[in-house]
Amino acid sequence: MFPFMFLSHFGVPLMVVAIVGIVFWFKSRERELQFHQDMRVREMEHQRKMKELDLELEKEKNRKTAYKTA
């Protein structure tokens, strides 16, 4: 009789707390994964822009060199 009373009085609220905790953990994990994916996309865009700027800088250097020699 005592174990049944213990489970009925404390088990149900503990199960509810456990379920809420698991759901919260899954949602926060999903947000974390989404954040990492967004950061990776931003990093790729930044790298692409940096390459474009490096190309423009190189072109400008070549133009100045060609103008000086001409």
Question: Domain segments of the chain: what residues?
Answer: 30-70
Look at residue 40 in the predicted model and tell me its pLDDT.
98
Note the pLDDT tens digit of each residue in 11-47: 888 889 999 999 999 999 999 999 999 999 999 999 9
pLDDT of residue 5 exceeding 80: no
- Residue 70's pLDDT is what? 63
Percent helix, strand and coil across the chain, each rounded to 5? 95, 0, 5
pLDDT higher than 70, residue 7: no
What is the largest distance, in Å, between two alpha-carbon atoms of the chain? 102
State if pTM tops 0.85: no
User: How large is the average pLDDT for residues 43-54?
Assistant: 98
Residue whose pair of structure tokens reads 């950061």 in the numeric block: 39
SS3 of the chain: the string is: CHHHHHHHHHHHHHHHHHHHHHHHHHHHHHHHHHHHHHHHHHHHHHHHHHHHHHHHHHHHHHHHHHHHHC
